Amino acid sequence: MAVGRGTRGWLYLISYLGLILWATVGYGLVYFQFLPPDPTDNYCGLTAFLCLWLPVWAFIDNVGETRTHIQKWEEFVFMWLLTSGLCQVGWELPFVILKVEHLQPISSTKHLEPSELWAWPFWMYASGDTRYMRQHSASHATETMLAISGFFELGAVWLLHNRIKYKTAMIIAALSHWGFFWANTSVIYIAEIYDNYASIDDGAWGYWVKWAGLNLQWSVLSPICTFAALWLLCGRVREEARLEMSSKDA
């Protein structure tokens, strides 16, 4: 599957660079104390929020390009699987491993000690949604399942990229992202509403950017991805059935 050409390619590149730069350059500047942990975390969180919407670039045609609806939706599913999968494996998995022994002992959501600056990328989100680095088994369990799902997502990306097992890849996309929406981000929001936002800190930045904003993509793009994958899957099955019937008639 060929994606990311022309204008779309540049838009994808800019979005991924935004994510990579705050996670590397931003992290390095905080770790070596050239920048303070706060408010650097707020601006990096806002950058991540904006850049994570990158799959929507799939619907932009390059100059002189005319793609079918199927091609556009295939690219959207591919890019969201890739983006989400990298987030789960590159972000959630380390969190799951480090949470109990290394993140829970961090005492403050307001500042980090010099010896704690290594944890700034996780603290960036956890200073808003404090469940992330406090004793909270339900949160830890859901993040564990997300981390595992990331490997399935990246497996589906590999299948689509190599143009094999198309239907399998779409089934993985539909199931994993319905799970993200129905059993994870919805639970994250509803549970905190039930608790009267007791675990939300860091003011408006913590509420709107970190808790609400950095979960919103999986509340919006994931259900869209599910239905897009099911639509593409049904279309492929119909096409295969039509070809099979045509060959029998011949």
The predicted pLDDT at position 249 comes to 65
Query: Residue 94: helix, strand or coil by DSSP?
Result: helix
What sign results for the dihedral spanned by CA atoms 134, 139, 145, 150? negative
What sign results for the dihedral spanned by CA atoms 164, 155, 161, 220? positive
1 domain-assigned: no
47 domain-assigned: yes
The predicted pLDDT at position 118 comes to 96
Q: Along the 250 residues of the chain, how does pLDDT read in single tens digits?
A: 667 788 999 999 999 999 999 999 999 999 999 999 999 999 999 999 999 999 999 999 988 888 999 999 999 999 999 999 999 999 999 999 999 999 999 988 888 999 999 999 999 999 999 988 888 888 899 899 999 999 999 999 999 999 999 999 999 999 999 998 887 888 889 989 999 999 999 999 999 999 999 999 999 999 999 999 999 999 999 998 988 888 776 5
The predicted pLDDT at position 107 comes to 85
226 domain-assigned: yes
The predicted pLDDT at position 112 comes to 94
Q: Say how many domains are in the chain.
A: 1
Strands (E), the chain: none
184 domain-assigned: yes
109 domain-assigned: yes
Write out the H or E segment, with its range, that includes residue 203.
helix 203-204
231 domain-assigned: yes
Domain extent, residue 31, equals 6-249
As given in the structure block, the two tokens for residue 81 are: 């699987």
Note the pLDDT tens digit of each residue in 185-244.
Answer: 888 899 899 999 999 999 999 999 999 999 999 999 999 999 999 999 999 999 989 888
Residue 211's alpha-carbon distances to 55, 86, 193, in angstroms, are 21, 20, 12
- CB of 147 closer than 8 Å to CB of 93: yes
The predicted pLDDT at position 1 comes to 66
